[in-house]
Amino acid sequence: MTTPKPWSHSALDDFKNCPRSYYEKRIAKSVAEERSEQMIWGEEVHKAFELRQKNGKKVSPLPEDLQVHELFMQQLKAMPGLKWTEQKVGLNKRVEPCDFFAKDVWCRLIIDFKAVHRELAVIVDYKTGKAHNKFNQLKLCALHTFADHPDVEHVDVMYYWTKTQTTSGERYSRDQIPDLWASFVPDLKQYAQAFKEDIWQPRPSGLCNGWCPVKDCEFWKPKRNK
């Protein structure tokens, strides 16, 4: 095994957490990760927001239990420029935009919401879980946007935290592209090395306590009773 599979932010995170678990789930496919209630809820929220943001005269209203987010949806709708929702895109090894399923796709990503107006782009990722300050996912979205829109000089990225109806974000400029890519290089080198050598070492962590589906791993333990 020498050619790495196309990666995404979630796949690379999965690999970083535990190469062994990544291999069993995504390469050998010997186990499947259980879809939790939180995951299902996240998918439902993303779909509702996508339908609400779709272009066209007919607007799909938010379900009653998501009406609290209507003001934010209106704010996104009012942004100037061209807009995309749940945009499935890719990059090849030359860091050129390509189709999500292109033969030469190297990296895949899904951008929840994007608006591009002249030299500014705005990217929003909806989060239904606990707030954090890890921005690599949005850095990757910004890098694709710079590649796909040569006139864009700045990208404002933000997470929308649905539990609190708040946002957190950063601004990236085109001259930061080398530094943004540099944040991925160490992990991508390890990722490529694992495929080259076909070695997938387990990496023990709290996820071994019943959260990982690889039950035949020497580090796996059942969940502790509360």
- Its pTM stands at 0.93
> Mean pLDDT over all residues of the chain?
94
Range of weakest confidence among 55-64, 68-77, 84-93: 55-64
pLDDT band at 54 (very low <50, low <70, confident <90, very high): confident
Rounded average pLDDT over 213-219? 92
* Per-domain boundaries in the chain: 66-183
| pLDDT beyond 70 at 55 | no
pLDDT at 32: 87
Rounded average pLDDT over 100-127? 98
Return the CATH fold of 66-183.
Trna Endonuclease; Chain: A, domain 1 (3.40.1350)
Task: Give CA–CA dist 210/68, Å, rounded.
Answer: 35
pLDDT at 58: 67
pLDDT at 57: 57
Q: Do 168 and 161 form a contact (C-beta atoms < 8 A)?
A: yes
Percent pLDDT > 70 in the chain is: 97
Read off the pLDDT of residues 80-89 as tens digits, 9 standing for 90 and up: 999 999 999 9
Read off the pLDDT of residues 23-53 as tens digits, 9 standing for 90 and up: 999 999 999 888 889 999 999 999 999 999 9
pLDDT at 2: 76
First-to-last alpha carbon distance for the chain, in angstroms, is 42
Q: Do 94 and 102 form a contact (C-beta atoms < 8 A)?
A: no
Q: What is the DSSP pairing of strand 154-161 with strand 166-173? A: antiparallel
pLDDT at 35: 82
| pLDDT beyond 80 at 171 | yes
pLDDT at 73: 96
pLDDT at 223: 82
pLDDT at 210: 84
**Strands of the sheet with 166-173, listed across from one edge:** 97-98, 82-92, 105-117, 120-127, 154-161, 166-173
Where would I find the H helices in the chain? 9-17, 19-22, 37-53, 70-77, 136-148, 177-182, 185-197
Q: Do 3 and 194 form a contact (C-beta atoms < 8 A)?
A: no
pLDDT at 225: 65
Rounded average pLDDT over 51-78? 88
Percent pLDDT > 90 in the chain is: 88
pLDDT at 226: 54
CA angle, 49 then 112 then 43, to 5°? 55
